[in-house]
Amino acid sequence: MNALQLSEALALPMSSHVDQKVPKTVLSEQAATTATDRRAIKEGIEGLWWLASLKPNTIGVPAFADEQREYLEIAVLQLQLRNTLKSGTKATRLIELLHRAIPYPVLLIIEQEDALSLSLAYKRWAQNEKDKMVLEDSYPHITPVLDDAPDAFFHDLALNNQPQNHLFALYQGWLACLLALETWHEAGQYRSPQSIDRLPEQRQQLHKARELANEIARLRKQAARERQMARQVELNLQIKQLEALRSALLEQLT
């Protein structure tokens, strides 16, 4: 699986294709506020391409607007990071800068060596600046797409399989796909998205399941070092309780 195959899985109509390379200077001018960010863009990005523009007149899905946000267009972009960029924190920062630089919500395909990811970020109106869109969350949503990802996931990614009510619902549909893939990462079972209505709850459940997995791993290391039998038994009981909680959460997600 490569970036081209992943973009083809979206099954976007030719009417939406842009296929233009975006100069890195544009990203520096639009989003980089510090010398560190400008240097990171220069040294960390191999290339950036604008693949498609999803608008009512290119895909036939209506725009969306309410008091909080306005979705007139979704930009589909491909970001190729340099292989020399080893820091996950720096990569995340570059992805965040890109989401901030584009005035529309972005579906971002990220490629680095043999690794692929997809990223989304909700946008809303800025509270103190008129006509400016900002990220709703502190960080963009980034999901690794592994080589052994289920075929059903790539089928679910297709544009025609997303909600067609309006562009915001369409964007939420893609987030639901990413959450389904992340649940597969955690539980080993893939279930196609059924609805976008439970997205906030599902995101919280998935976050909690990951927190529990980290706590279970910590307790296991602690139990392995423990020399007192009574304390080992106590730790193992805690582990079993947390495993049961995590299994129940993942069962709700699958």
Domain ranges for the chain: 3-191, 205-253
Structure tokens at 97: 């800068």
Q: How far is CA 201 from CA 33, 79, 197, in A?
A: 34, 30, 9
Structure tokens at 107: 């579906």
Q: What is the pLDDT of residues 199-253, one digit of tens each?
A: 889 889 999 999 999 999 999 999 999 899 999 999 999 999 999 999 999 888 8
Pick the closest to residue 163 from 178, 148, 149, 175 (CA basis): 175
pLDDT at 10 over 80: yes
Strand order across the 45-54 sheet: 17-21, 45-54, 74-81, 106-112, 115-120, 141-144
**How many Cα atoms within 13 Å fall on the side-chain side of residue 154?**
17
pLDDT at 32 over 90: no
In degrees, rounded to 5, the angle at the alpha carbon of residue 131 between the alpha carbons of residues 130 and 136 is 95
In contact, 179 and 202? CB cutoff 8 Å: yes
Pick the closest to residue 70 from 126, 112, 110 (CA basis): 126
Give the mean model confidence (pLDDT) for residues 110-115.
92
What is the residue-wise DSSP string for 127-192? SSSTT-EEESSSS-EEEE--TT--HHHHHHHSGGGS--S-HHHHHHHHHHHHHHHHHHHHHS----
Which of 31-35, 129-133, 188-192 shows the lowest per-residue confidence on average (mean pLDDT)? 129-133
Percentage with pLDDT > 70 across the chain: 100
Rounded-to-integer distance, Cα 181 and Cα 125, Å: 29
| 21 φ/ψ angles, rounded to the nearest 5 degrees | -80, 135
The pLDDT score that the predictor gives to residue 70 is 94
Beta bridge partners of 207: none
Which helix (H) or strand (E) segment holds residue 125: the answer is: strand 123-125
Rounded-to-integer distance, Cα 169 and Cα 178, Å: 14
Structure tokens at 93: 């920062």
What is the band of 59 on the pLDDT scale with cuts at 50, 70, 90?
very high
What is the band of 84 on the pLDDT scale with cuts at 50, 70, 90?
confident
